[in-house]
Structure 1
Amino acid sequence: MCGFAGFVGDGFGNEAAAALLSAMGSAISHRGPDGNGQLVMAGAGLAHVRLSIVGLADGQQPMTEPSARFTIIFNGEIFNYVELRRDLEARGVVFRTGSDTEVLLQLYVSFGEQCLSRLNGDFAFAIWDARERRLVLARDRMGVRPLFYTQHRGGLYFASEVKALLQVPGIEAALDPFALDQIFTLWAPIAPRTAFKGISELEPGQILIAENGGMTLRSYWSLDYPDQGEHPQRHPAEVEEELRALLTDATRLRMRADVPVGAYLSGGLDSSLITALAAPMAMDRLNTFSVTFDDAEHDESTFQQAVVEALGTRHHSVACGTGDIAADFPDVVRFTERPILRTAPAPLYSLARLVRQSGLKVVLTGEGADEVFAGYDIFREARVRRFCARQPRSKIRPHLFRKLYPYLPGLKQQSPEYLAAFFGTSKDIADDPLFSHRPRFRSTSAAKIFYSDQLRTELRGYDAAEDLASRLPADFRRWHALNQAQYLEARFLLPGYILSSQGDRMAMAHGVEGRFPFLDHRLVEFANKLPPEMKLRGLEEKYILRRVAQGILPATVVNRPKQPYRAPDSRSFFGASEPSYLGETLGAAAVAKGGLFNPMAVSRLLQKCRAQPVSGFRDNAAFVGILSTQLWLRTFL
């Protein structure tokens, strides 16, 4: 994995273009500490910083094919490059390097944009056609690797991270208020919108073509599900066998590298299963990496150790205390390049640092399984809410909600009336396309009470949730309710938050590449066609995946209830380790200068958090969201 940046346009002389490319590359040098390169051509400039994983000695970029017509810069990995290379060689293609970059370039030479359907990988790339003066940008199907772009003074500029685009003369950072409202509703901006006004994100499975002064966008792949009632009916044993084979092959492909590959191990089912499949494939004893927490509410070290002992991995762990989260948080915001509502990325930032310090730069992770196999509480919650809407007098309603969240002790003290009101079982319309996510959106939106009058005026009449609903595909209403909820998670929150703020950005801050076997597109397409009960059986999440894990993992791991990855939020910033930047960013003067939040309301929230740890979601999300926004303003404006 690497980073790249570039432009298309005639507004620069060679010297100015070279200086700009150097500045853009330097801004993202953390993504590629192993080398860099740049190329100025008529009408275009390309820059690249390299993290060498495949083709260590001969994969330098930008790379131009022998005819000098096509030049590529590429971030990510093509996992099936060995098979693709073999096919191309059979067609007479002669290779000069052992890198997957050259395979991708030659594949494009042979098949053009149709090459995308042949790729199994996590990637973003730019290919410049010097003869036609045509630029092609593309991003992988699930949105693992980032790619941003903007049009400015007649040119098109693009990069792996926004901070490279801010090196372009005349491009100034400005916060998009609608993106901020989307974050304070949905947890992430709705692509192509980003936190930066005027800067867009290429969407997952999308291709951009720039030529003749114009720009076009189209999708080459999208998530799809069968119509409700049309899922092929299959025997669980048959599905289990095929799923095991697919997941094993997805893991095998992602173990391909010319450097050692390790694995993140949270102690949950997903990362443990990937670790178990990867361990026999490792060059040597597999290195595993975990985060531990001081408090039992968040710590999963008991389960981590059970897997380590069962598999015999060489284990490394980093202890994450509240002071550690506060110390790293400004860097977390700088690398995420957007406000965030949770501190969860901070421990992963520390974990990636540990990986790099241990001499590794590639890790497998379990992300994607919850979206693909319905592992999140929100899927079970929606099922219970639908039951309660159909059975409004059922006495088991509050017991079902408490069963959903055994790790939230405060829920046990809530009345049935409170639970019904919070989860919205009586007022929600069953055919609401956002039915599954309305409680989350409501609870997150409660933090908007801290908005300033100025921001409220700018947002008057805007509804982020309805904006999201307007972007759903035409087939959405024909899908099963579970598939609808899965789509919302996999299409929006997965690339917009999980794979960015907690994935690519935290890992690449330390020059570490994360790989995601559960997001192999073959496995995603396979899982999307499964009957819903194969994924959510009653209230048992990831049913078929648990069957695959039986006999591979300890029973304590296979059968443990889902515990979402969380980290301490507001309490991470108070006490003996309170950072000085807290007063600098949340003081009345700083908040007033930012113009986004009410200084008096923020001051009261700050006093409340200092006085005692807050446990409510609204106050925690509001505190972290306001703090990260203020840090964003300080970092980028």
Structure 2
Amino acid sequence: MCGLAGVARRESRGVATEMLDRMAGALRHRGPDGSGRYADAQVGLAHVRLSIIDVAGGAQPLGNEDGSVLIVYNGEVYNYLELRHELVAAGHRFRTRSDTEVLVHAYEQWGTGMLGRLNGQFAFAIYDRRAGTVLLARDRFGVRPLFYSIAHGDLWFASEAKALFAGGEVEAELDPVGLDQVFTFWAARPPRTVFRGVYSLEPGTFAVWRQGVLRHDRFYELHYPEAREESSDTLPTLGGLLDSSVALRLRSDVPVGGYLSGGLDSSITCALAARESPFSLRTFSVTFDDPELDEREFQQLVARQLQSRHHIQAIGAHDVASVFPEVVRHAETPLVRTAPAPMYLLARLAREHDIKVVLTGEGSDELFLGYDLFKETALRLFCLRQPQSQVRPRLFDRLYPYLDPRGRRGDFWRRSFLEAGAPDDPLFSHLPRFLLTARIKDFYSSDLRTTLAGGDALEELRASLPQQFASWSPLNRAAYLEMVTLLSPYLLSAQGDRMSLAHGVEARYPFLDHRVFEFAARL
């Protein structure tokens, strides 16, 4: 895992290496193992490296044999060995063992068609010197970030916005619309960010810069072709996919650890990793002084069963507050929850024990409908089918058992679900969350309200939904919304990539193998 940055100028007026060094310096936490840069009259590339595969080789920027194709790359392509075999058979010659070089030759062989062949989490920029183009691409689910801005006619890009600002030509200025999205969805929705003129490349898309114009296209879309019946081999098929996904994500020249929350998803991930890993698995957990938050009993139970070398980050009353300023600096966004702080501390613990790659269970709840939100959606639909019933709404009192029971009882609690929106609203499943979060807007100043007048974050989301959205089942519509409003822009970003890479730790997500997603979407 690494950090990348660069600029593609509209005109050939040179790229200062000092500027590239500043951009790379802003990303040093992402890649403490090395750095490199390239500059010509029109394009500059900078890179900081977290060495995981081909530790001795694989330095970036990396090019093909004649240097006509150059790449800076953040992430991992897990099926790089299989792709390398194809490329060697096609006549390509390799000088490193890295997955980075596989991407260079894959681009030469297949162009942007390479993207659909990749199984991984990635963001990269490829400079094709002969064609005079720069290709930006981001993985299917948005695990790895890629930001860009067009300033003074030039394209700037980087793994984090702070690197764009370090270049000195992109202004750091608040975007009120992006801010409003944070206080609706918990995060700004790509391509929007909280910075004016700074954009996030959308998951599953690529963009090509040519002659001062950036053109976007999509190589992957979320789709839910729900089957009418479940196949008899569903469980064995799922087991095989998860085995394969974990095995691919154990490909590394350094030991791979695991985050262990004590829940089902991380326990499955760690159990499969312990079985497949050539190293003795090391697991990492957070515990809390507050017994209502603490899950150490389950964590230790699983760790003992797996015989892992288990490490604990204890979090007391003041620990979250003490690191929160750094958490916000790395997240580069306002935060409506403190949950990223424990993840920041957990990554620090892993790095202190010389682990810079971890497997984690994010994505399973979105794929297999594990969140209480999905139960809530089904229950709201059940109650609204008989709106006069006095009995059905009492089932809401059983939702969210981890919340204080004094606040989840009675008519007000029940009406908050039943009156949040009509079942024919495309956002039906998420309206209770969106409307509750939006109460933060009560604190907006009159000037901000005036600036935002005429805009509607919810209406913009409705307008962006894919054409086939209405044909999906209510729960699959909810799953899609969870993927695009929470998983990618918040859980994988502010709570994921930014917190782990703050300490030079790469998180890998077996449940977010696209084969696993596509299997789950068909159930």
With structure 1 as the length reference, what TM-score do the two structures score? 0.81
C-alpha contact 1:262 1:286 (8 A) present in aligned 2: yes
Aligned residue pairs, count: 523
Match for residue 233 of structure 1 among 229, 234, 247: 229
Alpha-carbon distance in structure 2 between the residues aligned to 1:36 and 1:324: 32
**Partner-residue secondary structure (3-state), 1:166:** helix
Which structure 1 residue ranges, 5 or more long, are not aligned? Answer: 531-637
| Residue 470 in structure 1 maps to residue 454 in structure 2 | no
Q: Which runs of structure 1 show a deviation greater than 3 angstroms over 4 or more consecutive aligned residues?
A: 10-14
Which residue does the alignment assign to 2:156?
Answer: 157
Which structure 2 residue ranges, 5 or more long, are not aligned? Answer: none
| Residue 525 in structure 1 maps to residue 518 in structure 2 | yes
Which residue does the alignment assign to 2:242?
Answer: 247
Which residue does the alignment assign to 1:556?
Answer: none
Q: Which amino acid aligns with 2:170?
A: I
Which residue does the alignment assign to 2:414?
Answer: 420
C-alpha contact 2:360 2:508 (8 A) present in aligned 1: yes
Alpha-carbon distance in structure 1 between the residues aligned to 2:57 and 2:423: 57
Kindly provide the CA deviation profile for residues 9-41 of structure 1, in whole angstroms up to 9, marking residues without a partner as x. 156755x52111010000101100000000012
The 3 A distance-change label for structure 1 pair 426 and 502 is closer
For residue 493 of structure 1, report the CA deviation from its aligned partner: 1.2
Alpha-carbon distance in structure 1 between the residues aligned to 2:54 and 2:195: 35
Report matched runs for 1:217-616 at 5 Å.
217-226=216-225, 231-235=227-231, 237-411=232-406, 414-415=409-410, 417-423=411-417, 425-426=418-419, 428-530=421-523
**Partner-residue secondary structure (3-state), 1:231:** coil
Report matched runs for 1:95-110 at 5 Å.
95-110=94-109
Which residue does the alignment assign to 2:7?
Answer: 7
Alpha-carbon distance in structure 2 between the residues aligned to 1:98 and 1:413: 56
Alpha-carbon distance in structure 1 between the residues aligned to 2:427 and 2:227: 22
Which residue does the alignment assign to 1:626?
Answer: none
Which residue does the alignment assign to 2:20?
Answer: 21
For residue 168 of structure 1, report the CA deviation from its aligned partner: 2.4
Alpha-carbon distance in structure 2 between the residues aligned to 1:167 and 1:409: 45
Which residue does the alignment assign to 1:587?
Answer: none
Alpha-carbon distance in structure 2 between the residues aligned to 1:105 and 1:396: 62
For residue 321 of structure 1, report the CA deviation from its aligned partner: 1.3
Alpha-carbon distance in structure 2 between the residues aligned to 1:322 and 1:12: 55
Alpha-carbon distance in structure 1 between the residues aligned to 2:351 and 2:135: 33
C-alpha contact 1:392 1:426 (8 A) present in aligned 2: no
Kindly provide the CA deviation profile for residues 323-363 of structure 1, in whole angstroms up to 9, marking residues without a partner as x. 11001000000000000100000011000000000011000
C-alpha contact 1:186 1:465 (8 A) present in aligned 2: no
C-alpha contact 1:192 1:200 (8 A) present in aligned 2: yes
Alpha-carbon distance in structure 2 between the residues aligned to 1:399 and 1:261: 46
The 3 A distance-change label for structure 1 pair 55 and 386 is same
**Partner-residue secondary structure (3-state), 1:135:** strand
**Partner-residue secondary structure (3-state), 2:190:** coil
Alpha-carbon distance in structure 2 between the residues aligned to 1:261 and 1:427: 44
Q: Which moved more, 1:398-407 or 1:291-300?
A: 398-407
For residue 411 of structure 1, report the CA deviation from its aligned partner: 4.9
Alpha-carbon distance in structure 2 between the residues aligned to 1:520 and 1:356: 25
Report matched runs for 1:56-135 at 5 Å.
56-135=55-134
Alpha-carbon distance in structure 2 between the residues aligned to 1:251 and 1:431: 39
Alpha-carbon distance in structure 2 between the residues aligned to 1:28 and 1:413: 44
Q: Which amino acid aligns with 2:439?
A: A
With structure 2 as the length reference, what TM-score do the two structures score? 0.98
**Partner-residue secondary structure (3-state), 1:218:** strand
Report matched runs for 1:191-206 at 5 Å.
191-206=190-205
C-alpha contact 2:420 2:432 (8 A) present in aligned 1: no
Which residue does the alignment assign to 1:143?
Answer: 142
For residue 512 of structure 1, report the CA deviation from its aligned partner: 0.2
Alpha-carbon distance in structure 1 between the residues aligned to 2:126 and 2:84: 19
**Partner-residue secondary structure (3-state), 2:467:** coil
Q: Which amino acid aligns with 1:421?
A: R
Kindly provide the CA deviation profile for residues 551-604 of structure 1, in whole angstroms up to 9, marking residues without a partner as x. xxxxxxxxxxxxxxxxxxxxxxxxxxxxxxxxxxxxxxxxxxxxxxxxxxxxxx
**Partner-residue secondary structure (3-state), 1:197:** coil
Alpha-carbon distance in structure 1 between the residues aligned to 2:229 and 2:18: 60
Q: Which amino acid aligns with 1:418?
A: F
Alpha-carbon distance in structure 2 between the residues aligned to 1:261 and 1:396: 51
Alpha-carbon distance in structure 2 between the residues aligned to 1:412 and 1:455: 32
Q: CA RMSD in A?
A: 1.3
Q: Which amino acid aligns with 1:352?
A: A
Q: Provide the identity percentage.
A: 52
Kindly provide the CA deviation profile for residues 453-510 of structure 1, in whole angstroms up to 9, marking residues without a partner as x. 1111111122211111111011111111111000001122111100001100000000
C-alpha contact 2:383 2:393 (8 A) present in aligned 1: no
Alpha-carbon distance in structure 2 between the residues aligned to 1:3 and 1:259: 19
C-alpha contact 1:223 1:491 (8 A) present in aligned 2: no
